[in-house]
Each structure stands twice: as C-alpha cells, then as structure tokens.
Structure 1
Amino acid sequence: MTVVERPPRTRELSAWTTRRWLRFGVTVAMSVLVLLGATGGWALARTATISDNLVDVKSPALTNSIRLESALLNQETGIRGYGLTGTADFLDPYREGLGQQKTYTKTLATLLRGNPARLRDLKDVEDRIETWQAQIARPVANSPAGKPSPLATDSATRGKSTFDAVRTAMATQQDRLRADRAAARADLIATMRLRNWIFIAIAAVIVALAVIVSEALRRGITGPLERIGADARTIADGDFGHPITPTGPADLRQLSGEIESMRRRLVRALDFSEEARQRLDEQSADLKRSNAELEQFAYVASHDLQEPLRKVSSFTQLLQRRYGGQLDERADQYIDFAVDGANRMQTLINDLLDFSRVGRVHNTHQSVDLNVVMKRTLTAISVSIEESGAVITRDELPTVIADSTQMGMLWQNLIGNAIKFRRPGETPAVHISAEQDGDHWRFAVTDNGIGIASEYAEKVFVIFQRLHTKDRYQGSGIGLAMCKKIVEFHGGTIAVDLTHTEGTRIVFTLASRPVEPGEQGDLVAAGRS
C-alpha cells in the first residue's frame, strides 16, 4: 500500500480550528470594509464640504451682492429725486438703502472670509460706493429741503459717471461670484459622480465578500455540522451503535470525538436509567402525599381554631356589653383589647383559609368574562366605594380561561387596596386597563393613593408583611400575597410598576390559554422574562 503524505502547509491548515478560520476571515473582511468605509467616508465628506460651500457661501454671496446693488439703486434714485425736487420723501429710500448697504456689505465680508480675491472685489466696490456717496450723495442729502438742489444740477454728469463706476465694480464682482458658484457646482457634480462610483464599488465588494463568506461557512462549518447533526439524530433515534464520523476543522473533529465518547458513556448510562426513574417516581409520590397532608393540616388546624376563637370572641363581646362602663377605665380598655384581638384573630384565620384554598378548593378553569366578574366585584364592595366616593373606570376586559371565584378575589383585593390606601382628603380614582401581550393578557390597576416605595416593591407580596400599623390601616397583610398566589396559579406574574409615581400601579399578567398544573412554573418564568 502506498502512503501519500500531505504537504506540511496542508497539514498546518487542517489543524486550524473554526475560531482561527473565523478570526482570519473576519480580519480580512474587516480590513476590506474599513478601507472601503474610509473611502466612502472621504467621498461623503468631500461632497458635503462642496455642497455646504455652495449652499452656505457661494450662492448667498451672489445673492447678497445683488441685494447690495439693489440697495445702491434705491440710494441713487432717492438722491436724484431729492436733488431735482427738494421733496424730503425722496430721502426715505436713500436712508433705507444706507441701512441695507451696511447689512449686505457686512454679510459679504463674513461669507468671503478666507477668499482674498473676492474680498479685494468687495473692497473695490466699497471704495467706489464711498466715492459716490462723498462726492454726490451726502452733499445732496444735506442740502435744504423744499427746492431743487444746485449740487444735483451742477454735478449731474459727474454723479452719473461716479455711479456708473459703482455699477461696473458691482457687475465685475457679481460676474466673478457667478463664476465661482458655477465652478463649485461643477466640482460638486464631479464629486457626486465619483461618490456614486465609489459606493457602487463598495456594494459590489460587499456582495462578493458575502458570497465568499457564505461559501466558506458552508464548506468549513455548516456542512460538517450538518453531518455531525445527522449522526447525532441517528443516535437519538435509538441506534446507539452508530459511530460519529470526524469531519471539518480541528475543533469540529474534536467535537465529533467528544460526541462519540458521550455516545459510549450514554450506552453505559442506560443500564442505570431505569433504576433512577423508579426512584424519581417514588420521590414524586412522596412529595404529592406530603403536600396533600400539609394542605389538610392547614385546613383542619384553621377550622379547629375557629370554635375556641368564636367562644373567646363571643364571651369578650358579652363581657363588654354587660360590664362596659361599670368597671374602671383600665378594665374597659383591657376588654376592648381582648375584643379587638379576637376579631383580628378570626379575620386572620379566615384570610389564611382563603389563602390556602387558592389552587386547592377553587380550581375550576373555564371561560370567564372578566367584565361580568368585575361588575360582581364592584357590587360586593359598593359600600366602600360609596363611603369613599371612589371613581372606578376601566377598559373593556377580555374573556380568559380561569377560575371565576379566584378572579373575583383578585379584583376585590386589588380594588379594595386602591380605595383603602387613598390620600387623605383626596377622592380615590382607580383605573383598570387590559392589553394583550403575546400569550398573556397584561392588566394594570392604577390609583392616585399613597403609593409604594421602591424598597417595598417585593415585600408587599410576602404574606403577613405590612407597611403600616393596624391603627392606621386595617388588614391582615395577606391581600397582595393572595393576589400573587392567584396570578401565579393562572400562569402569570404580578409586580409594582415603579415608573408610576402619582399613586400605585399594580401590573399583572394572566395566561390566555388553560394552564396545566405541571407548567405553571414555566409560564411564570416566561412572564417574568
């Protein structure tokens, strides 16, 4: 058998990894693109410079020169009319022309800064204007009004020749400014043509690079990856004896070897998988049994507490009614404390029962029109709304697949909190909005109340966490915790919108499709992302 050795250069290239090939390709492509970008940038900058010069200097300079000539004509007309008639009204265009002359000459001097030849033209024009004004205009303007000026008659010929000199200088200036503008326009057209060819060349080079990169990726990366993927799919379909064929750059060949090693380890691991699955099933059954026992314990404990608590509450209230006012003030205060504590304990147990029932007792997922649930909720808390004078507004709410009872508890807690935590002396205003966001509906309950500080945005959803004393605001600290449990049970998330500063805005989502018990955690994670 004849062994053909590859040349050293071929062996060296075959040892290149995908990263090395990519670095080489990116370096070459970036070098070409930087060069092309620099050339294109120069062409754009050159075009912009010429265009700006034409628009901001050349054209305005010619325009101001023409306006200056018009101002001088107004001066000449006014002086000639005043000199021949002595009427003072003829001096108005003269004086107006003087103001315009100052403005236009100053503007021209600014525009032509850096152009000595055009500044010399402007100086020549100013000199001739000064000669005409000194010899003709100012003497005539200073002569008494009411009769023709002898100066206008005596120096008519000299005035005409002097002003013709001004016109000649102006015409020379304007001809040169027109020539400069035409030259700039021609230069702009030539530069734009060059720019267009440069960008056509850039586009052609980019297309060529794209073709080369695409083909190189196909041959060096995607092709070998497809072959490795085909082998991996064959193994995944159950043919664990199918080998992985090394192919492509060095790192892809190494990847093939690692997949082959993984295949072998997978074959060995199959022997232990059935035993692991059985242990997992046993642990899952233990966990379900533990959860059921824990729920039953909470339910029974809460019910067992109700009877002695009702007895304590009844007898303390009876004691208060029968002996209230007959004992000293401290005894009445102690009785009040006992009655209040018993009532709050009973409320707390009832809230705990409601909290424990979420997802356990009320778990009937069906099509629920939230508009109907909202009307029912507003009726249930109508006393609070009337006493506070609250104004409740809402958008049209959707129909979702959920538990109707839990939806009522959710709305009642959120709207009740918005009314309860209102600003002193201000009428509560609550707005409920809804909008669809992919697979979820996003709801917001916005109020103008006292708000929630950012450091408590997470704490308010923890059970029994209160931000205010019971003397200021009644409650057990379970309401928002229950809302969180209901929302997450329905595959959504709930949070405080910290961007809303004029009160509180609670934002939550509900899945727009039925939620299976096993996928609640996945949907909650997706909603948070």
Structure 2
Amino acid sequence: MQSKPSDTAGAFSGWTTRRWLRTGVLTTLAVLAVLGSLGGWATWRTSQLTADLVDRRSPALVQALRVEQGLVNQETGIRGYGLSGRTDFLQPYAQGVRDEQAALGRLRTLVADDDRAGADLAEVERLAEDWQRRVARPVAAASAEEAVRLATQRARDGKGAFDALRSAMSRQQSHLQSENAAGVHDLRQAVALRNWTFAGIAVVIVLVAALVFEGLRRGITGPLSRLSADARDVAGGRFDHALTGTGPADLRRLAEDVESMRLRLVKELQFSEESRTLLDEQAEDLRRSNTELEQFAYVASHDLQEPLRKVSSFTQLLQRRYGGQLDDRADQYIAFAVDGANRMQTLINDLLAFSRVGRVHNDHRSVDLESVFGRTLDDLGVAVEETGAEITHDPLPTVVGDATQLGILWQNLLSNAIKFRSPDHPPHVHVSASEDDGTWEFAVSDNGIGIAPEFREKVFVIFQRLHTKDAYPGTGIGLAMCKKVVEFHGGRIRIDPDYKLGTRVIFTLPASAADTASGQRPEPPLTVPSPGRPESPEGTTQP
C-alpha cells in the first residue's frame, strides 16, 4: 500500500508549470482578497469611530459646557442686578441667554440619535426654563427697586431651582464624558486592531512571497538550472551524460525531449565519426591516387618524348628523301605520319604543362601583371603582326600568385582571342580590370566568332574541342589550363553570357595587401597597336 506522501505526489505529478502558476496565483489572490477585506474593515471601523468621536461626542460635551457657562452667566447677572439694582448686570444675563440658546441648538443636533443624551438635554432645558420662568425673567423685567425686592423674595426658590439645574447639567456632562471616554477606548481598540491587521497582512505577504520564491526555485528555476547544467555538460563534450528532469510535468517532458535529442546526436556523432574515418581513408587513397596519376602523367610524357622524337625524325627523313619518288598515296601516308607525330608531341607537351600547374610552379608572391602581360605580348608578337590584331588593356594591378602560371594564363587567353578571330575583320582584344572588396575581376573581350550558349561550360573541360583540327589547330587544352590556373589561385573563371560581339572571358584573382589598403583603381586603357593595321572595334578572348 502506498504512503500518503506518494499519493499526494502522484496526484500532483501531472501538473504543468502553467497549472501550478495558475493555482498559486489564484490562491495568492484569494488570500490577499481576504486580508484586504479585513484591512479595509479595520480601516473603515477606525474611521467611523474617529468621525463619531470628533464630529459628535467631543462637540456634544463642548456644547454642554457652553450651555452651563451661559446659564451661569445668566445667574450671575440676575443675582448682581437683584442685589444692586444696577442695569449693567443685565448685559452678562443677555449674553448668557444668547450663548445658551446657540449651544442648545447645536447640542440638540449632536444628541439627536442618543436617547440618554437626549433625555439629559430635555431635563436641563426643563429645569433651565423653570428657573428662568420663576426667577430670571421676572427679575430682569422689573425696575431697579422692584428687582431688588423680587430677588430678595425669591432668593430661596431661585437658589434651589438653580442648584437642581446645576445638578442636571453635571449629570449630563458626566454622561457625555463617559460616552466620550468610551469612544476614545473603542477608537484605541480599533486602531490597535487595524495595526495588528496590517501587520498580519504584511507577514502574510512576506510568507506568500517566500512561498512563491521557494516554489519557483523548486518547481521552475531549480529544474531549469539543473537541465541547463546538464545541457552544458553535453555541449561541452560529455555526450554520455544523461539528462534527467524534475519539477512540473512540462519541464520533465522538456528534459525527456532534450535527452532524446542527446541520444539522437550521439547516434549521429557515431555515424559522423564512422563517415569521417571512411572519408579520411578515401581522401588518403585519393591523394595517393592523384600523386600516382601525376607521376604517371609526368613520367609517361617524358618517356614518350624519346620514341616520339624518333618517329617524328624518321618520318620527316622519309618525307625529305623519298618525297616525290613514290606514288601520291605513299606521299600522303608519309604526310599523315609526320602530322600525327607532330600533333602527338604537341599534345604530350600540353599535357605535361597541364600536370605541372600547382605542382611544379607553386611560388606565391606579389606579381606585377603589367610586366607579365608585356612579356606575353612580346611572345605573341609574330601572331599579332600576322593577323593585324589590336590588343588594349586597362592598367593592370599587382596580385598574389605564381608568375609562371599567370603568364601561361595570359598567353592562352590572348592566343585564343587571336586564333578564333572573325574572317571579316582583324581581331580586337581588350583586357579590363576592376577591384572590389579585396578581389580583382578581369575581363578579356574580343570580336571573334564567339561561343554558343550550350558550349560555355564545355570549353573548360580538357581536350574538348568545338572545331576540327583543320579549321582551328590546337589540342583543346587551353581554357582547361586557364581554369586550373585561376582556381589554383583561389579565383573563378566563366564565359560572360550577356556579351554578344564575340567572346568575353571573366576571371577573378585575389588582390595583394598593398592594393587593398591603397584602394587602387584602373587608369585609362593603354593601347598596343599592330604596325600598319587600322584600329578595329573591341572584341573578346576566344577558346
């Protein structure tokens, strides 16, 4: 049989954070409402007693004393007038009558709801009226001689009536003083009750705040802190550390979800580790294979040079010695052999140069492209003069790279632009350069035959030719060599699809630190015209 605490824990185990918070807030509001009601009642009770004491009981006692004072003044004035006959004694009497009437009017209003005080006031008024009727008014209305006689005759009755009146006023004031003292006592009790009530409210609020804080710590912040610490342990590399949830049901579900994610990550990491190990093995095999292929290409090209030179030399000897002595078919066969040997030697040399990119020539330093471009133009001087080509260029910057490979890049791009020229006009090639955010972008534009859109990617593949060797000589390795050089330097190369006047090859190279810091920009283009040829419109490089 389960214990009671377990039953209680089981009963609340399904409560979520929202439900705990809602229940806690409602309970707190209910307690505060009760305490607020008690505090409001205590404050209202204190205010009522204060108002009764200040507005009724104390003023009633004051007015009763004023009534007594007014009657005493009347008695003093009547007695003086009756003894001396002097009319100036009637002034205190008249003032006492006015003060008495004013005080009685206010006192009637103040004791209207108090039966005993009303009875006392009625007794005082009755005795005062009796004294005034029997003594005060007759004496005050008589002449001086008559007043003395009446005062003497009625001295005994007047004294008895006024003593009875004085006794009634004393009883009235005593009753009012006792009521006032009782009101003060009630007010003190009410103030004490109010103070204790508000002290209790403060204590309860402090207890509620402490309970709320402790409840939040145990039910929310504590479980979240533990879950956060466990998550940080897992994030720090302890993937075998299990996450356990405590607190409300939704936090426990959150911990279960995080634990499920951790298990999934562990599985993924195990799979990734296995995949990484496999990739490392494959990468190592690939590096070894690439090394072997590079060595094979290098050795094969060198080993093929000697027999190929013999074949080429002997076929050329046959052509020189026996040319014209055999029939036409034999001369044709010999010409085929010579041409094939020459093309094979060219192909091997190009393949050897292609394999050397990034392997033999790998000396990165600041390279003045203006100087490299000038040497390339000198190397192409014969082709420029024969075709009447005009080559212009913007001022070229200094970049970081290998000077030999960059020379190969310019030579292939410019020779392609000259070779694939239009038959209708001489070639015009322009090289532009612009720098943007640490990268130089170059564009080699010509006015040649252009490249069809479907071949703009194919031209960068090695040995891919778009024309027959009879139409345009070459091995189809030029733009593939350019692509390899540019990518080795961390740039990109492409054919501009929007250029319609020929071909435009665009490639990028990283700028040197000096160019980037100084913000170098190109100056107006320089022109290298061919001798004896007219200028022609701009064009682009041709594959």
Task: State the TM-score, normalizing by the size of structure 1.
Answer: 0.50
TM-superposed CA distance for 1:369, in Å, is 1.3
Cα deviations by residue, 1:292-348 (Å, 9 ceiling, x for unpaired): 111111111111111111011101111111111222222222211111111111001
**1:347 and 2:379 are equivalent in the alignment:** no
Residues 329-344 of structure 1: pairs in structure 2 closer than 5 A:
329-344=328-343
1:443 aligns with 2:442: yes
What displacement does 1:246 show? Answer: 10
Question: How far, CA to CA, are the matches of 2:426 and 2:346 in structure 1?
Answer: 28
How many residues are aligned here?
302
Please list the CA deviations of residues 209-235 of structure 1 after superposition, one character each: whole Å capped at 9, or x if unmatched. Answer: xxxxxxxxxxxxxxxx99999975653
Task: String of CA shifts for 1:23-72, please: whole Å, max 9, x gaps.
Answer: xxxxxxxxxxxxxxxxxxxxxxxxxxxxxxxxxxxxxxxxxxxxxxxxxx
TM-aligned CA deviation for residue 416 of structure 1: 0.4
Report the secondary structure of 2:378's partner residue: helix
Once residues 509 and 245 of structure 2 are traced to their aligned partners in structure 1, the CA distance between those partners, rounded to angstroms, is: 49
Unaligned runs of 5+ in 1: 15-224, 515-529
Instruction: Give ranges in structure 2 of 5+ residues lacking alignment.
Output: 23-223, 514-543
Residue of structure 2 in register with 1:140 after alignment: none
Residue in 2 aligned with 1:309?
A: 308
Aligned partner of 1:460 in structure 2 is: 459
Residue identity in the other structure for 2:235 = A
> 1:462: Cα distance to partner?
1.0
Contact 2:231–2:243 (CA under 8 A) maintained in structure 1? no
Aligned mates of 1:426, 1:226 — CA distance in 2: 80
Partner of 1:429: 428
Question: Which one-letter code corresponds to 2:331 in the other structure?
Answer: D
Q: Distance in 1 between matches of 2:289 and 2:376?
A: 35
State the secondary structure of the residue aligned to 2:329.
helix
What is the identity, as a one-letter code, of the residue corresponding to 2:442? F
Matches within 5 A, 1:487-526: 487-512=486-511
Identity over aligned pairs, percent: 66
* The 10-residue stretch of structure 1 (372-381 or 263-272) with the greater mean CA deviation from structure 2: 263-272
Contact 2:398/2:512, CA 8 A, preserved across alignment: no
Structure 1 letter corresponding to 2:419: K
Give the match for residue 358 of structure 2.
Answer: 359
Per the TM alignment, residue 401 of structure 1 is displaced from its structure 2 partner at its CA by: 1.3
TM superposition shift of 1:8: 11
Say if 1:393 and 1:431, in contact at 8 Å, map to a contact too.
yes
Identify the residue that residue 99 of structure 1 maps to in structure 2: none
Partner Cα separation in structure 1 for residue 507 and residue 356 of structure 2: 21
CA distance in 2, matches of 1:6, 1:293: 67
Give 1:227-246 correspondences, 5 Å limit: 235-240=234-239, 241=241, 243=243
Which amino acid in 1 is paired with 2:432? S
Does residue 1:403 correspond to 2:406, yes or no?
Answer: no
Larger radius of gyration: 2
Q: Distance in 2 between matches of 1:246 and 1:481?
A: 64
Distance 1:7 1:455, change over 3 A: same
Q: CA deviation at 1:506?
A: 0.6
- Match of residue 480 from structure 2: 481
- Is 1:469 the counterpart of 2:497? The answer is no
Alpha-carbon separation, structure 1, partners of 2:398 and 2:229: 46
Q: Which amino acid in 1 is paired with 2:384?
A: I
CA distance 1:349–1:254, change in 2 (3 Å): farther
State the SS of the aligned residue for 2:422: coil
In the other structure, the counterpart of 2:384 is 385
Which whole-Å deviations, capped at 9, do the CAs of 1:105-147 have from their partners, x for residues lacking one?
xxxxxxxxxxxxxxxxxxxxxxxxxxxxxxxxxxxxxxxxxxx
* CA RMSD, 1 decimal: 3.8
Query: What is the rounded CA distance, in whole Å, between the counterparts of 1:439 and 1:410 in structure 2?
Result: 21
Q: Quick check: 1:232–1:244 contact (8 Å CA) kept in 2?
A: no
TM-score (norm 2): 0.49
The structure-2 alpha-carbon separation of the partners of 1:393 and 1:5, relative to structure 1 and needing over 3 Å to count, comes to same
1:513 and 1:376 map into 2 onto residues whose CA distance is 21
Instruction: Say which SS state the counterpart of residue 463 (structure 1) adopts.
Output: coil
Give the drift of 1:511: 3.1
Quote the Cα distance in structure 2 between the aligned partners of 1:483 and 1:465. Answer: 14
Q: Could you tell me how far apart the structure 1 residues matched to 2:357 and 2:506 are?
A: 20
1:372 matched residue in structure 2? 371
Change (3 A) 1:244 1:512: farther
The answer to whether 1:416 aligns with 2:421 is no
**Deviation of 1:436 (Å):** 2.1
